Amino acid sequence: MRIPGIRTYALASELLGKRVPEKIRVEFWKQLSLGQALSLIAQIITDIEVRSGMSDAPASEVDMRWTKQVANRNLRTHLEIASTYGVTLFAPQMLLLAAKEAMLHSPEGPPTDNVEGLDLLVICLLGIADDNDEGPKVASGATWGGMDVSLASELIANLHFNRTLWVGRQLVWFERTWFRSWPKRTKAAKTVGGEPHELFKEATGIELVDFAAVAFNLYAQAANRGYVRYPDEFFATLGLPAEAVEHFLAVTSCSASEMRRHIRDDHAAPRPSRFGFDTFRRFPLVRLESGELLMLSPNFVMQRALSETTFWDVRQYLRKVDAKREVAFHQCTKDILEYEAGAALRRIFFKKKLQVLDEGQLQKRLAAGRKSMPRMCDFAIRSGRTWLLVEVTDRAMPRPVVLASASATALDDELDKVLTARKAEQLISTIRLLEEETRLRRSQSDGRFTYIPLVLTGETGLPWTLPVQHRTRERLASLGHPEEFCSAVALITLKELIMLENAAALGHDTIDILRSWRLDNPSLPLDQHIHLQAIPLNSPVWERNRVSAVVRRFANRMGPSGLLKN
């Protein structure tokens, strides 16, 4: 489906003058062995995800690299012309959909060490893109956020799927999350019975750093050498405990036949989603008929071993042995996002000597002596006549929203839980308390304060985009909230807050950036607004420096033939 504001992908109907329907693609897939099809797809995905990570225009550079290897001159010319118009020739979503089709239709067979079959793959990709461009086959007629609900749902799912992963950020998050004490010394932290990495060891019998080191080594091999296939002997060279490697492969890999079965089950669903890649995320390594393990996506490997996904390994164990500990663990992990948001805010405003008030400090300041404690947001920062208010939620989008299958009612329910219900009330309550404080101190002579109210989510939370912004204003207005609040409130991610931190380190005023965002580009995600201001979307220096320390932690666990020499 063509979505406004999203870079489009190449279609067979436009490049070749005709569509390539699935029944024709099936015949093409039958000419390409499964091992070779997956190997080509994995190489292109790897090129997109890691080998072009430092480029200013990675998508176009990957397109041109692979276009040059297309054998058919006419097809190659069409691709080269299309690339000049800014369309994406090799889109990750189309490549993963192609991997699904290959799983369904390609015969068993080994991969080669060349690009044999690339032309067939490209034609299938163009045909898949045409099918994807049709949008949902069932139109509901309902609207959400000022557009058809199916389009709104597709836009949200598309932005969620295409959220980029910088591996350095993932490594630092991994270290700060798993190898520090719980951020709050609460009753839950006592009940859970251990620090994060200790609980992983209890649940699996494996040191977490060894588990993660296997994943990072695979990523490093892909980034430095473009490797996507690994024989069993490779894992013996890592210098890591055999039981750690065995556990890693047990939870991240499956055989090609098992993968086929999973994909067939997905395909048999009444309305299979074009964003449904759970099986690939769960098993990013596929054991081919040749015996090699193929890494379909380096990012999926890193996310499986170094992201919030690993929390589930511990939660599933605790659920079996002690339900109270499982509940406590979940609460402790929820505290992490709030802690990291507060730490980032303090780093941002430290140089300006501005105080970041947390919820406890706000309660002391604004609610002292009250019989009942009013609702307040998690953080507040005053800069001149502006208050920046931040409320944090770690809520992840439910599956129907991720898969672009949510109804208008389901989208409303998700928006309420993330922003327009309780979170909005906490922000508005804080504004009222600050306004009351202003009146009591009789400082109206300085003029009114302005407020920038934000809800900060994790990377798996609802993204901020046009229909979300439109529906937010509608729902808040229907509840009688002031217009200035309805137009100012927005969602941001921790990743975007880290981008603001880098902008502040470069001398940009954080409040000015946020103010101009809410006035000039209110429906854009914050990172897009920052990009439009010609501010680098980089991590701050401290985070980039910390990456080296995390890599050294992995290297120190390996033998002399491990990470440093492979």
What pLDDT score does 164 carry?
77
- pLDDT of residue 96 exceeding 70, the answer is yes
Please state, for a pLDDT cut of 90, what percent of the chain lies above it.
80
pLDDT in tens, 377-430: 999 999 999 999 999 999 999 999 999 999 999 999 999 999 999 999 999 999
Confidence band, pLDDT 50/70/90 cuts, at residue 372 = confident
- Give the chain's mean pLDDT: 91
Residue 120, number of CB atoms within 10 A of its CB: 19
Q: What pLDDT, on a 0 to 100 scale, did the predictor assign at position 176?
A: 93
Neighbouring residues of 556: CB distance < 8 A, sequence distance ≥ 6: none
> Residues 276-301: what's their mean pLDDT?
95
pLDDT at 56: 47
Torsion sign across C-alpha atoms 127, 128, 129, 133: positive
The two beta strands, 143-144 and 253-255, are unpaired
Q: Assign 93 to helix, strand or coil.
A: helix
* pLDDT reported for residue 244: 96
What gap in Å lies between CA 328 and CA 322, rounded to an integer?
Answer: 10
Between CA 441 and CA 378 the distance in angstroms is 23
DSSP codes of every residue in 221-255? HHHHH---EE-HHHHHTS-S-HHHHHHHHHHHEEE
d(CA 412, CA 381): 30
Contact yes or no for 89/15 (Cβ under 8 A): no
Identify the residue with better confidence: 17 or 1.
17
Report the pLDDT averaged over residues 261-268.
91
pLDDT digits (tens, 9 = 90+) for 106-148: 999 999 999 999 999 999 999 999 998 876 555 567 999 999 9
The answer to whether 506 and 535 are in contact (CB under 8 A) is yes
- Rounded CA-CA distance 296/183 in Å is 35
- For residue 553, give the amino acid letter: R
pLDDT digits (tens, 9 = 90+) for 451-507: 999 999 999 999 999 999 999 999 999 999 999 999 999 999 999 999 999 999 999
Structure confidence at residue 489 (pLDDT): 98
pLDDT tens, residue by residue, 34-72: 999 999 999 999 999 986 554 444 578 899 999 999 999
pLDDT of residue 335: 93
User: In the chain, count of helices (H) and strands (E)?
Assistant: 29, 11
Read off the pLDDT band of 560 (50, 70, 90).
low
Provide the pLDDT for residue 458. Answer: 93
For 30, phi then psi, to 5°, come to: -65, -20
Which of the pair, 172 or 370, is modelled with greater confidence?
172
Stretch 16-45: mean pLDDT, rounded?
Answer: 97
Is the confidence at residue 533, as pLDDT, over 80?
yes
Phi-psi region of 186 (alpha: psi -120 to 50; beta: other; left: phi over 0): beta
